[in-house]
């Protein structure tokens, strides 16, 4: 039942794609756990992962945008902020008690955001970064 990384999701930027694949693997674990009736336990693990992932991945993208004066940086960063706010609201709801409905809500919001963000803003950023000299050295 998990989600799988496909080549059409690639931004063409190695470090960015590596980060995205990590998140896909984690979300796939949540979906697999849901099919086994263990989604509530895995959601807590997903939140812990997202705490680190958000800092690491968003910071890497935002540094690349800043370093190379990416013209879409403001809107891209705004999407990151919106995602952080959405995750905070879901975490607060989770703190009041995990339910199957909440697990499904977390799964849907994270998967929808990830797919839309990668296929939109991240691909645009990737295209821009591919034109910038030395971009592959950014980590």
Can you give the pTM of this predicted structure?
A: 0.84
Q: Per residue of the chain (139 residues), what is the pLDDT tens digit? A: 567 888 899 999 999 999 999 888 888 887 787 778 777 778 888 888 888 888 899 999 999 999 999 999 999 999 999 999 999 998 898 888 878 888 888 888 888 888 899 999 999 999 999 988 665 544 4
Phi and psi, residue 5, nearest 5°: -70, 135
Half-sphere exposure of residue 60, counting CA atoms within 13 Å on the CB side?
A: 21
> Residue ranges per domain, the chain?
11-132
d(CA 118, CA 25): 15
Q: What CATH class has 11-132?
A: mainly alpha
């Amino acid at each position: 039942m998990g989600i799988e990384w496909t080549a059409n999701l690639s931004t063409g930027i190695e470090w960015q794609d590596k980060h995205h694949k990590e998140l896909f693997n984690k979300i796939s674990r949540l979906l697999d756990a849901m099919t086994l009736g263990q989604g509530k336990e895995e959601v807590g693990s997903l939140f812990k992962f997202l705490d680190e992932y958000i800092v690491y991945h968003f910071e890497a993208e935002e540094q690349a945008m800043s370093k190379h004066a990416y013209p879409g940086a403001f809107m891209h960063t705004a999407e990151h902020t919106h995602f952080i706010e959405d995750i905070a609201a879901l975490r607060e709801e989770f703190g009041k008690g995990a339910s199957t409905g909440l697990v499904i809500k977390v799964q849907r919001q994270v998967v929808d955001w990830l797919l839309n963000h990668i296929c939109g803003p991240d691909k645009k950023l990737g295209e821009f970064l591919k034109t910038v000299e030395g971009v592959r050295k950014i980590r």
